[in-house]
Structure 1
C-alpha cells in the first residue's frame, strides 16, 4: 500500500477543499487501519520520527506557542485535522498534525463533516476572515458583563461563515472568550481607574483604542481585539462604569 499512501499524501489539499469526494484509502480494511494508526507511536520520544514531532511543535513558535484554535492556551498536543479515525492514512502526515492546546484537542475530537463538507479552519491552509465578525457586547449594570457573538459580514460568503460558526460552536469559544475577557478586565481595572482619574473619559477611551490596535495585530477577530473595540465604544463604561469592576470595600 506504500504507493497508495504516497498518492493520498499528494491528494491531501484536494481532500481539504472538498472532503465529500473522498473516502479513506483504508475504508473497509480493519487490518490496514490498525497498521496506519500504529504509525503514530513512531513520533514518541526515542522513536524514529521523534524529530518530526519536534519540528511540528516548533511551527508554533511564531505564535508564541499559543493554540491556533482558541488563540489563548499553550499548545501541548498534536491534533489530527482530518481525524485518524476517519483518515488513518494521514496519521503521521505533518500537514495534518496541528499543535493545539489540550482543551481544543479534546473538544474537536473526531469532528469531520463528510456529508456537508463543512470543515473547521486549518492552521496551515486556511486564513480566518479578515472582516470584523467576532463581536463582544458590553453591559454595565450591577457589574460589567460581556457576551460574545458572531455578526455576519456581507463580504463573507455563506459557506465560510458556516465554517466560522462551526468552529465557535464545536470549541465552545463564546463561553471561553467570555471567561477570558472577565479575567482581562479584572487584571486591567487599576489601569482604567488611573487613566480615568488623570484624563477623564476621553483619556480612557484613547487608552482602550490603543489597546484595540495592539490586539488587532493578532487579527481583527482576536477575542481581545473584539473586547477592547466594544469597551472603547461603550460610553457608560468609559464614563466611570468600569468602577463596577472594582472590589467592594469591606466594613
Structure 2
C-alpha cells in the first residue's frame, strides 16, 4: 500500500485528440461529437480526483460504445499511449495497488464501463496485477462522493506507519498471522478512511497472510535448519529479519510481517 510516484507525462489531451482523429470514419464521428466534453473531463481529472466527486459525461449508446471501444483500437496512437504508461512506470514491477504480484494488466482507475471517456487517458491507466484488476477492483471505484481505492499516481500516502502485523506461534512451528490498520494522529480521518476502504476492497489482509505464509515462513524454516546451535540460528535469523525490515518500506506486507516477527525470534530458534 504505497504510491508508485510514476513519472507520468501529462499531455493526455493531445494524445487523446490524435487518437480520436486517427479512428475510422464510422467511429470517429461518434467520438468527435463529444470530443470537447471528453477533453474537458481529462483536463479536470486531478481536480475531480482530489475532490472525491466525479461524474461521467452524457453519451448516447453509440457514443458510449465508441469511447469504450477506443481502448481496444489497434491504432498506433492508442497503442502508443498504453506503451507510454508501461514505459514510464519504469522498473517498478509490483502492482501498485497491492505490492504483492507483478503487474500484467492495465487497469482503468475509473472503470471504462462507467467512464468510457477516460478509456485512453494515461492518468487513468494503472499497471496492475490480474488479481487486483479483475478479481477485486473490477468496476468498483466509489459511490460518487468518495473513492474506494488509493490512486497510485496522485494520492500521497502519509509517511507514517499504518499497516501492522501480529504473529503468534502455535505448537508444531505453525504461525498465526494477521494484518490490521491503525490510524496515526498525523493521518486525517478522511485519508485513513480511503486507506481502510482500499485495504478492505482489495482483500489485502487475506492476500498478505497468504503471501507471508507461502514465502516468508518457509524462508525462516530454511534459515534455522541450516545451523546446529541456538546462537547461530538466532544470529542468522536476526540478521535476516533486520535486513528485511530495512529493505521493505513501511506499510508493505513484508515490512509489517518481519517487524512483528522480531519479538519471537528467540522462541523460533529453540
Range of TM-score over shorter length: 0.7 to 0.9
CA contact (8 A) 1:134 1:149 kept: yes
Q: 2:116 aligns with which of 76, 85, 88?
A: 88
State how 1:47-196 maps to structure 2 within 5 Å: 47-63=76-92, 65-106=93-134, 107-142=136-171, 143-183=174-214, 184-194=216-226
Q: 1:38 aligns with which of 54, 63, 69?
A: 69
The equivalent residue for 2:50 is: 17
When normalised by structure 2's length, the TM-score is: 0.79
Query: C-alpha offsets along residues 121-154 of structure 1, whole Å, 9 cap, x if unaligned?
Result: 1111113222111111010122122111111211
Q: 1:39 to 1:242 in 2, by over 3 A?
A: farther
Gaps of 5+ in 2: 1-33
CA contact (8 A) 1:60 1:66 kept: no
The equivalent residue for 2:268 is: 241
- How far did 1:58 drift? 2.0
Query: C-alpha offsets along residues 171-210 of structure 1, whole Å, 9 cap, x if unaligned?
Result: 1110000010012111332224446734464663344222
When normalised by structure 1's length, the TM-score is: 0.84
The CA RMSD over aligned residues, in Å, is 2.1
Q: 2:258 aligns with which of 214, 220, 228?
A: 228
CA contact (8 A) 1:144 1:242 kept: no
Number of residues of Structure 1 aligned to a counterpart in Structure 2? 232
- How far did 1:23 drift? 2.0
CA contact (8 A) 2:223 2:237 kept: no
Q: 1:192 to 1:214 in 2, by over 3 A?
A: farther
The equivalent residue for 2:31 is: none
CA contact (8 A) 2:164 2:179 kept: yes
- For the residue of structure 2 that corresponds to 1:205, the secondary structure is helix
Structure 1 runs (4+) deviating above 3 angstroms are 192-207
Partners in 2 of 1:202 and 1:122 — Cα distance? Answer: 40
CA contact (8 A) 2:86 2:127 kept: yes
Q: 1:198 to 1:96 in 2, by over 3 A?
A: same
- For the residue of structure 2 that corresponds to 1:33, the secondary structure is helix
The equivalent residue for 2:3 is: none
Partners in 1 of 2:37 and 2:144 — Cα distance? Answer: 24
- How far did 1:117 drift? 1.5
CA contact (8 A) 1:132 1:220 kept: yes
Q: 1:72 to 1:185 in 2, by over 3 A?
A: same
Gaps of 5+ in 1: 244-251
The equivalent residue for 2:35 is: 2
Q: 1:163 to 1:210 in 2, by over 3 A?
A: same
Query: C-alpha offsets along residues 8-42 of structure 1, whole Å, 9 cap, x if unaligned?
Result: 1111111101243x421135x32321111111112
